[in-house]
């Protein structure tokens, strides 16, 4: 996923405008459920220390990604904020909504960790000079840098902490959600690149 051709094209600014538009239109739908999932993490976390980073990041997503970047980028590309969801977007939203309503902290962390770690993975492969177009450059910058890295480290640390206290059956349950999220991340980039995908099949977490 982190070396997907679509992601690598973002890092070089080479994504055709129509593909970037399709991707961001769909990601705007993704971010809605993702933001709700961050809210669920605040509620479901088992320690006060853990609630704080979720609350902090939730505020950032709501004020930077959603309010500014998406609207500016979609305006630049002639995109819509109400595009019909593609099957993979629906499937990803279903996964996020399932773990959100489960209020199961470990499952919530698994999905958040995949989403953020994958994005750090591809964005950190970008080399200077970053693309001139703000649509590409700011999308890389939002998923890279010391603060984002610390956020991903926090999510990984939470998964490790919860995993250490879990039995084998529970670990496999969390792993199943983790794998499903990775599969959907990859398919999301396939969709963005205009390729058919198989990962959008319906699947419930539990």
Ligand X SMILES: Cc1ncc(CN)c(N)n1
Point out the residues that are catalytic: 185
Q: Taking contact as CB under 6 A, which single stretch among the options 13-21, 25-33, 69-77, 149-157 is the one that binds ligand X? A: 25-33
Q: Measured between alpha carbons, how far is 69 from 93 in angstroms, rounded to an integer?
A: 21
Question: Contacting ligand X (CB under 6 A), which of 27, 86, 158, 190?
Answer: 27
User: Nearest CA to 154 among 37, 31, 63, 55?
Assistant: 55
Least distance CB 164 / ligand X (angstroms): 26
Q: Which is nearer to ligand X, 69 or 105 (CB)?
A: 69
CB under 8 Å, gap of 24 or more: what pairs does 43-49 form?
43/103, 44/103, 44/104, 44/105, 44/108, 45/105, 46/105
Question: Contacting ligand X (CB under 6 A), which of 41, 77, 91, 115?
Answer: 115
31 in Cβ contact with 96 (< 8 Å): no
Give, as ranges, the residues between 124 and 183 that touch ligand X (CB under 6 A). Answer: none
Structure token pair of residue 187: 């398919």
Question: Contacting ligand X (CB under 6 A), which of 6, 30, 57, 105?
Answer: 30
- Cβ neighbors of 178 (< 8 A, separation 6 or more) are 110, 111, 113, 114
Draw the binding track, 54-93, toward ligand X (x: CB under 6 A; -: no contact).
----------------------------------------
Least distance CB 114 / ligand X (angstroms): 8
Binding positions for substrate are 27, 66, 116
Largest Cα–Cα distance of the chain, in whole Å? 50
Instruction: State which residue has the least CB distance to ligand X.
Output: 115
Least distance CB 24 / ligand X (angstroms): 9
Q: Measured between alpha carbons, how far is 21 from 71 in angstroms, rounded to an integer?
A: 12
Q: Which is nearer to ligand X, 32 or 166 (CB)?
A: 32
Least distance CB 112 / ligand X (angstroms): 9
Q: Taking contact as CB under 6 A, which single stretch among the options 24-32, 43-51, 101-109, 151-159 is the one that binds ligand X? A: 24-32
Burial class (CB in 10 A: 0-12, 13-18, 19+), 201: exposed
| Residue reference for tokens 């399709």 | 22
Site residues, ligand X (CB under 6 A): 27, 30-31, 34, 115-116, 119, 185, 188
């Amino acid at each position: 996923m982190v070396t997907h051709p679509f992601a690598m094209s973002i890092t070089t600014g080479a994504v055709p405008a129509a593909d970037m538009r399709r991707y961001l239109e769909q990601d705007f739908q993704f971010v809605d459920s993702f933001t709700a999932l961050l809210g669920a993490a605040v509620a479901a976390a088992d320690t006060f220390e853990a609630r704080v980073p979720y609350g902090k990041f939730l505020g950032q997503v709501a004020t930077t990604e959603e309010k500014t970047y998406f609207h500016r980028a979609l305006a630049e590309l002639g995109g819509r904020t109400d595009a019909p969801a593609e099957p993979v977007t629906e499937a990803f939203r279903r996964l996020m909504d399932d773990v959100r309503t489960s209020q199961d902290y470990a499952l919530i962390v698994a999905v958040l960790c995949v989403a953020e770690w994958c994005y750090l993975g591809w964005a950190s492969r970008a080399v200077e000079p970053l693309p001139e177009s703000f649509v590409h450059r700011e999308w890389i910058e939002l998923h890279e840098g010391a603060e984002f890295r610390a956020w991903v480290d926090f999510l990984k640390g939470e998964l490790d902490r919860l995993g250490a206290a879990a039995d084998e059956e529970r670990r496999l349950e969390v792993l199943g959600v983790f794998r499903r999220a990775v599969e959907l991340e990859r398919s999301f980039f396939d969709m963005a690149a205009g390729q058919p995908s198989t990962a959008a099949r319906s699947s419930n977490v539990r």
